[in-house]
Structure 1
């Protein structure tokens, strides 16, 4: 028998029901925030992905040459597609652009807990607005989405950081350009690597005075409030121009935090400069949602990427957004017992006698109820009443619709509430009224 490929999943009906529940919460919450849904092709030019993430990403892709001789890849994420689509209509599109997408993405990497070769992801992005209000809106959507699943401050936290502050610190050490980017990639690993390993990596990136850079990085990471960050930079001194830029950036922090506080999300926010996000295209505030129970894995992440649309050939356009995968999220919801019962939601299950008249009456009503939007199931072959009632009870239906010889002769049926056991003789209009109540 054929086996599922490593890192891929199949979705039996009960799994598909849970997946669709997750998609439904994602979609409903994004629509409440006035985001519009978009989608793109599963197959993209390889150059589009490498233009965003660099040639080193190729080893993580399902890439190949198609029959037209084009270098293509299964999409590893939706952001490059988004940037391409918005860039193509940048001259006429209404701003700010608030789009979301739910897409299957593919990465050729070693499957492990929480990371597979195929996963679904919610992407939500705001383009065309540079103010911290856009960052706040994206973060508010992220937090609201997790809360919509029943999660709370007890289960997750939003760790908020800022690549601009990091770049200002590195600039004070004389680091700019690719060297600064290399240093940020190392700083991004501070939680996972030993000091000796970090120093070696810094030196490998060509960072001068790597010990001093790491020492300051550790001090900045230790700051857990905006006041502590402000004090850290004040203690460092530096020239007036650098101090003015730090002060201006801290004002943007205050604006962002004030927005989030006004919306009631301050309790979820943690100032955490340990979050850097290693991808070079991030340009400002960055953030990750981490679960605070279980293994403390990341649930979502994102940030500002003001130059990507232009980099991919479009007009200059500021942007901020995040991605939320389904794998780790489902694991957490399962652990916290927050997933719905995967049984099908039925309004009614038909229990019908063996006569032709009963069968015809039942099928007539089944068709009419389905046209009105009710979810109805019925036995496809003749069965005894006992077996049908057992099936009705196990189906998850709210009502049993009983068509016996006597009921049909009166042009009626018995409607039984399967939760309470109450039943009564009703005609079709009364059945619709009770089932719709």
Structure 2
């Protein structure tokens, strides 16, 4: 792979693109990260809105595909009706970074625990279940909202798998009275609670 300066020798020093690349490498040297970047003329980003230098980020060993890729796009906002402003950004590959973190033993082990699992007992109550989830989230509670038409047995299995504390069932008769059925999964205790009393 050519260094930036070898590239300039081959293509000459004329043109805005070459000037931009020279400035990038000069600044990277001054900021102390030049050892982390290399010039690669084979990188071509497929999106038409880039207006300057494009880039891809790789793991140091170069064994994985790009972790991220992006570039300069100074005229992107006008395509959405806004005013153009200088901008630079990238898309991040979550699958690649997870593999890299696993390889280096840096992937944290997060225990999956959700405080509430909310389920509508009737397909017509999905919006009601979403309302209950929103109320709980507004009170700082974590919520897993089940919107698929799943049997109750599946919901209980899911609740056990994600270690939910409570199962909140939104049924038609309870909902008409402004209430939901709450089952505490550790004790099996179940009772009806008014929406404005949900904690």
Identify the TM-score tier after normalising by the shorter chain.
0.3 to 0.5
TM-score of the superposition, structure 1-length normalised?
0.25
TM-score, normalised on structure 2?
A: 0.48
Structure label with greater radius of gyration? 1
